[in-house]
């Protein structure tokens, strides 16, 4: 079985996550994609992140109608910071008969060299890199990444052109704080939950 591991804070999950995940699944012939919400990501330690049980439940709701999507709470149950190499090591044992692919955004390419045990991680595991069709990677910046060429080539081979979805969790949080609508930016059940529980709101409602 070909399995995609899609990690992220999903703070909150939105249509961009869902559309890109399904597009990658189809393009790359994946049998399933497992959403893995981050427990304690080291690069977002100063950001307000809603409770992990809420993020898990929102993902579960958002993917409930897609039989190819799953959610796993491994990182939520991990003490300390969550690192990709540790997560992929866990799943490589849990799904030892699967071909695993870790899904990242193209923006991560330029900082992946500072991830924990980066060279070992890239060497051991397969990556799929979601690149917006209208925003190809910057070749000069990519060449400057301080990694061995064979590892950079491996990452480059995993690039997948994905739809242009101008939605981000940051924009959604900002719109909520500004009292603006997020209708159609997140699944309706997610919008209703955020509104009913006043998440991310300083003032105003979510319409």
Same-domain pairing of 162 and 203: no
Residue 118: which H helix or E strand, with range? helix 118-124
Alpha-carbon gap, residue 184 to 52, rounded angstroms:
23
Query: Do the strands 99-105 and 69-71 form a parallel or antiparallel pair, or are they unpaired?
Result: unpaired
Q: How many helices (H) and strands (E) does the chain have?
A: 8, 6
Q: Do 23 and 70 fall within a single domain?
A: yes
Q: What is the pLDDT of residues 131-182, one digit of tens each?
A: 988 888 889 999 999 999 999 999 999 999 999 999 999 999 999 999 999 9
What would the 3-class secondary structure string for 154-176 be?
A: HHHHCEEEECCCCCCHHHHHHHH
Query: Residue 55 is part of a domain; what is its CATH number?
Result: 3.40.50.620
Pair 156, 173 in one domain: no
> Do 162 and 172 have their domain in common?
no
pLDDT of 207 above 70: no
Higher pLDDT, 107 or 22: 22
Instruction: State whether 66 and 150 are in the same domain.
Output: yes
How many domains does the chain fold into?
2
Whether 22 and 52 share a structural domain: yes
Residue with tokens 């939105």: 14
The answer on 121 and 189 residing in a single domain is no
* 33-64 pLDDT tens trace: 999 999 876 666 556 789 999 999 999 999 99
Note whether 115 and 191 are same-domain residues.
Answer: no
Cβ pair 24, 121 in contact under 8 A: no
Residues 54 and 111 in one domain: yes
Q: Identify the domain containing residue 193 by its residue range.
A: 168-207
Q: Are residues 42 and 124 in the same domain?
A: yes
> Are 61 and 161 within one domain?
yes
Listed residue (16, 56, 61, 14) closest to 38, CA to CA? 56
Average pLDDT across the chain, whole number: 92
Report the 10 Å Cβ neighbour count for 51: 10
Residue in 119, 129, 55 with CA at minimum distance from that of residue 85: 119
d(CA 175, CA 163): 22
83 forms beta bridges with: none
85 and 185 belong to one structural domain: no
Per-state percent for the chain, helix, strand, coil, to nearest 5: 45, 15, 40
């Amino acid at each position: 079985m070909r399995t995609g591991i899609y990690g992220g804070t999903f703070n909150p999950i939105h249509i961009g996550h869902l559309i890109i995940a399904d597009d990658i699944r189809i393009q790359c012939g994946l049998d399933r994609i497992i959403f893995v919400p981050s427990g304690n990501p080291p690069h977002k330690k100063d950001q307000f992140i809603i409770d992990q049980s809420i993020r898990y439940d929102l993902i579960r709701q958002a993917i409930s109608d897609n039989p190819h999507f799953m959610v796993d709470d491994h990182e939520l149950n991990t003490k300390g910071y969550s690192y990709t190499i540790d997560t992929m090591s866990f799943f490589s044992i849990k799904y030892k008969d699967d071909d695993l692919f870790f899904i990242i955004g193209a923006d991560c390419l330029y900082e992946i060299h500072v991830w924990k045990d980066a060279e070992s991680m890239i060497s051991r595991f397969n990556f799929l890199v979601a690149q917006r069709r209208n925003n190809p990677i910057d070749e000069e910046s990519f060449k400057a990444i301080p990694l061995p060429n064979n590892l950079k080539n491996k990452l480059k081979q995993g690039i997948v052109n994905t739809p242009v979805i101008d939605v981000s969790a940051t924009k959604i949080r900002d719109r909520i704080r500004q009292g603006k609508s997020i209708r159609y930016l997140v699944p309706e059940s997610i919008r209703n939950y955020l509104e009913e529980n006043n998440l991310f709101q300083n003032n105003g409602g979510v319409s």
